[in-house]
Structure 1
Amino acid sequence: MNSARSVAVEVVKKVLYDNAYSSIVLNKYLNKFDLNKKDRALITELVYGTLKYKYTIDCILKNFIKSNLEKMNKDILNMLRISICQLRYLDKIPEFAVVNEAVEFSKNISFKLSKLVNGVLRNYLRNKSNSFGGNKEDKIEGICFEYSFPRWMAELFINQYGEDLGKFIMGSLNVVPKVTVRINTLKTDYKHAWNELIVNGYDVKRGNVYKEAVIINKGSNIELNPLFEKGHITVQDESAMLVSYFMDVEENMTILDLCSAPGGKSCHIGELMKNTGNVHCYDLYESKLSLVRHNAERLGIKNITCKKLDAAKYLEKLKDTADRVLIDVPCSGLGIIRKKPEIKWNKKEDSLKDLIEIQRKIILNAARYVKVGGKLVYSTCTLNKKENEENINWFISRNPQYKLDKLYCGDFHNIIYHEEGYMTILPDNHMDGFFIARLIKQR
């Protein structure tokens, strides 16, 4: 049974129970079956909507199912989840059709369970105007229900940023992201690429922050477009573009990118250096380095070399060799949830301590690779201050030979410039959440 909803159920199950990445498994299943454009769009909406609003959906289901949800048949539970998602957050399909599809799907598993599905969904529709948020005296629980975030994550945002900004962050992380591309100036110019995108049927607008960015409002899969295939454009968020921009590179420099895969920032650096100098790309996994090589080849970047390396382990031969070092360190990813909603459910609070330990090992190693007068850029795609500001302050206190270099790229509603010099990019309709710090080695 390859209906849109049955495919969505399978994808959600893989993500929630097999720790699959939503984008990868979704593309796999979309290509596996002969689906029309309408069904592909519906499956994508259902998968990302269900993962995004899982907390709220499960709270609703608990009002109608008294047993432990996680002990239920996984296919039945996920069909209920995507059905509630449709009924609550989508309005393209009539309610009766949503219920009937769910019941028919469930009959293939168990006639008895199909009655449960029918009863739960019809009961929800009779009571959909009710508040399902649980304990009205628990403010955090109400926020978790409204924005559909696990409690520890909601508390992290509110405790670190205050209630208003914390809500803004969570609301922005629920926004459906637009695709943003960067113009590759080695192969084309902005005006030509812009016009070609319009000719190819794309609704576009200029990027908000970075001069070579184009936001795709509407259009077909950009990676199947000739401009992408020829390397004239590449998909990259504006926040990530700013990381390479703040590397402050010059032609003929030696650059180390210690956590380079999949290569977006490495290739951007190579482009900014106009294919001069050397960009040495390292990553822990050889398989991921193949992505860097593939991107570099497509974009015509010729000053990149790739090699396997554990950035958390010091390598003596790299000492004092680099004009610039980039460490886009492994992080909790709390700033990119709008693109990877499964982060809400596959990240655990306890795991953050291990990440911070790894991040600190990496920055200590990276600092030894920078030449005197050179610069070290630290970036993450998280908004957890323990992985960001606290790590940089910890490093500076132990390495007085480094000083922070102030960052600035203009006044924008979602960019926070800290007194110390580093910056936080809050997620909004067009940008991911990021943190960037640039340090200069003085002696």
Structure 2
Amino acid sequence: MNLRLIILETLLLLEKEEGGAGNTIKQVLDKYDHLNRQERSFLKRVLEGTVERRIELDYIIDSKSRVKAEKMKPVIRQIMRMSVYQLKYMDSIPASAVCNEAVKLAGKKGYSGLKGFVNGVLRTISRDMDRITYPDASASYGMSIRYSCPEWLVRLFIDEQGQNNARVILEDSLKKRDLCIRINLSETDREGLEKSLGKEGVTFIDAPYLPYALILKDVDSLNRLKAFRDGLFTVQDLGSMLVTEAAGIKEMDTVFDVCASPGGKSMHALDKLNGTGRLYSFDVSAIKLQRIRENAERLGFWDINIIEADATVFHKEYEGMADVLIADLPCSGLGVMGRKNDIKYNIDPDKLDSLVKLQRDILKNVSRYIKRGGTLIFSTCTIHKAENEDNFRWIKDNLPFKAESLDPYIPKELRCKTSSEGYLQMMPGIHESDGFFISRFIKKD
């Protein structure tokens, strides 16, 4: 099986699509689940690395090619990108093999006339890789190239977080990610899961902050783990777990989770309810609801109300029902760039503005589902202030809610001035988590 051909065809598919690289790559890995660990690792690394470092790869190509990457035919452009990624970041593969396989791919895809061009440029890059000069890394353009992030977005991070924190965030976005998991306490305990993982040869370490979270090291395929198939754990980032902690869910509560897919916080809420109360998980499409349903069934939860509903449209039958409402809203996702390789390429300033409007439309609507004295948790997986702190202030000024301290609900290590005021911004590379914003409000009587 020609792994590089699979990579090339996937990259070409991604170039035609807008967004969703993570889902497409997962589908490819699932399709070729029969491959051995080494082959799957190669597929995953080259696909994700080529997508993630696109700006830097194009800069390297442009430094040695008379035809700039953006002017190349799509097939040749993707062959060049995936090959330069291997030359730059995969020392275990001989440069001659990378160049030879690239030439074969060009011929196989009907570009025999460009085999000489591909070979020549790649061998020049291979020879001169260590001598390629980069622009000043202290300026936004240089950071854009070094960290493969659009320059406008680099400037936004610098403006909002400062130069040093911006650099930390961007560096973190390119680091290898292990899997953070939450133990399904409805099915097992920590000792039981650790024993099950040990039998399967899985290496793990403690996650920070929460006793029911672990970090799995070098997991190749979740579906191959019996502990996963048996519903003993679910994949969930620490920030997402802390959202549910901040909700302070009590037994017998009625809990609403709007924009709930894939259902991590809903399942965590069910753990907290401990077989009592009621949970309603809402999302906008049948596909999203199916993802919630699949997770619920795997984790052994059957007493869950899964409802198709647009969060911007009022449904009177739910008015004043919720003791707790979790609104983890659609956002730019800038806190999870390290997990969603292409998210930085699929956002722009206009989309940021439209997301803020959507978030406020949802908040205005779903706030009516909460009882007087009930709890609203507003959260996002971004680090963009307009979507986070500005919305926090907007809720206080425009909706019948008062902010309440997060400190009684979150670990001591995370308590700070803002958490006592009602919100916490977790930052990638600073906290041991993805970027998450969490805030807590009580509905006024």
TM-score between both structures, scaled by the size of structure 2? 0.94
Matched-pair contact (CA < 8 Å) for 1:203–1:217: yes
Q: Report the counterpart of residue 56 of structure 2 in structure 1.
A: 56
Q: Report the counterpart of residue 435 of structure 2 in structure 1.
A: 433
1:336 corresponds to 2:331? no
Secondary structure of the equivalent of 1:275?
coil
Q: 1:324 to 1:31 in 2, by over 3 A?
A: closer
Matched-pair contact (CA < 8 Å) for 1:275–1:301: no
Deviation, structure 1 residue 22: 2.5
2:116 partner letter: K
Q: 1:168 to 1:13 in 2, by over 3 A?
A: same
Q: C-alpha separation between the residues in 2 aligned to 1:21 and 1:415?
A: 35
Q: C-alpha separation between the residues in 2 aligned to 1:416 and 1:337?
A: 27
1:215 corresponds to 2:215? yes
Runs of 4+ in 1 over 6 A off after TM superposition: 413-416
Q: Report the counterpart of residue 97 of structure 2 in structure 1.
A: 97
Q: Report the counterpart of residue 396 of structure 2 in structure 1.
A: 396
Matched-pair contact (CA < 8 Å) for 2:283–2:307: yes
Gap regions ≥5 residues in structure 1:
none
Q: C-alpha separation between the residues in 2 aligned to 1:253 and 1:411?
A: 25
Query: Alignment length, in residue pairs?
Result: 441
Q: Report the counterpart of residue 352 of structure 1 in structure 2.
A: 352
Q: C-alpha separation between the residues in 1 aligned to 2:218 and 2:137?
A: 43
1:200 partner letter: E
Q: C-alpha separation between the residues in 1 aligned to 2:288 and 2:166?
A: 34
Q: C-alpha separation between the residues in 2 aligned to 1:203 and 1:137?
A: 36
Q: 1:415 to 1:129 in 2, by over 3 A?
A: farther
Q: Report the counterpart of residue 317 of structure 1 in structure 2.
A: 317
Matched-pair contact (CA < 8 Å) for 1:59–1:132: no
Deviation, structure 1 residue 414: 11
Q: C-alpha separation between the residues in 2 aligned to 1:115 and 1:237?
A: 47
Q: 1:414 to 1:235 in 2, by over 3 A?
A: farther
Q: C-alpha separation between the residues in 1 aligned to 2:419 and 2:156?
A: 19
Q: C-alpha separation between the residues in 2 aligned to 1:189 and 1:329?
A: 31
**Greater shift in the superposed pair: 140-149 or 223-232:** 223-232
Q: Deviations over 1:319-362 (max 9, x none)?
A: 22110001110011111111111112122222111111100011
Q: C-alpha separation between the residues in 2 aligned to 1:361 and 1:439?
A: 17
Q: C-alpha separation between the residues in 2 aligned to 1:41 and 1:99?
A: 20
Deviation, structure 1 residue 99: 1.1
CA RMSD between the two structures:
2.1
Q: C-alpha separation between the residues in 2 aligned to 1:401 and 1:332?
A: 25
Matched-pair contact (CA < 8 Å) for 1:415–1:426: no
1:421 corresponds to 2:397? no
Q: Report the counterpart of residue 326 of structure 1 in structure 2.
A: 326
Q: Report the counterpart of residue 117 of structure 1 in structure 2.
A: 118
Deviation, structure 1 residue 89: 1.5
What is the 5 A alignment of 1:200-211? 200-211=200-211
Q: C-alpha separation between the residues in 1 aligned to 2:137 and 2:273?
A: 57
Secondary structure of the equivalent of 1:350?
helix
Q: C-alpha separation between the residues in 2 aligned to 1:56 and 1:293?
A: 40
1:281 partner letter: S
Q: Report the counterpart of residue 225 of structure 1 in structure 2.
A: 225
1:6 corresponds to 2:5? yes
Q: C-alpha separation between the residues in 2 aligned to 1:31 and 1:291?
A: 16
Q: Deviations over 1:368-425 (max 9, x none)?
A: 2211111000111111111111111112112354223334633558999456320011
Q: C-alpha separation between the residues in 2 aligned to 1:201 and 1:158?
A: 43
Secondary structure of the equivalent of 2:421?
coil
Q: Report the counterpart of residue 133 of structure 1 in structure 2.
A: 134
Q: C-alpha separation between the residues in 2 aligned to 1:415 and 1:406?
A: 9
Q: Report the counterpart of residue 171 of structure 1 in structure 2.
A: 171
Percent of aligned positions with the same letter in both sequences? 32
Gap regions ≥5 residues in structure 2:
none
Q: C-alpha separation between the residues in 1 aligned to 2:30 and 2:245?
A: 36
Q: C-alpha separation between the residues in 2 aligned to 1:412 and 1:155?
A: 30
Q: Quick check: which one's helix share is greater? A: 2
Q: 1:362 to 1:217 in 2, by over 3 A?
A: same
**Greater shift in the superposed pair: 105-114 or 173-182:** 105-114
Q: Deviations over 1:125-151 (max 9, x none)?
A: 2321234434x4981111111111111
Q: C-alpha separation between the residues in 1 aligned to 2:176 and 2:442?
A: 37
Q: Deviations over 1:102-159 (max 9, x none)?
A: 112112222221111111111112321234434x498111111111111111111111
Secondary structure of the equivalent of 1:129?
helix
**Greater shift in the superposed pair: 397-406 or 73-82:** 397-406
**Greater shift in the superposed pair: 282-291 or 105-114:** 105-114
Matched-pair contact (CA < 8 Å) for 1:239–1:432: yes
Q: 1:418 to 1:67 in 2, by over 3 A?
A: farther
What is the 5 A alignment of 1:176-215? 176-215=176-215
Deviation, structure 1 residue 302: 3.3
Q: C-alpha separation between the residues in 2 aligned to 1:370 and 1:389?
A: 22
1:359 partner letter: Q
1:387 corresponds to 2:390? no
2:436 partner letter: F
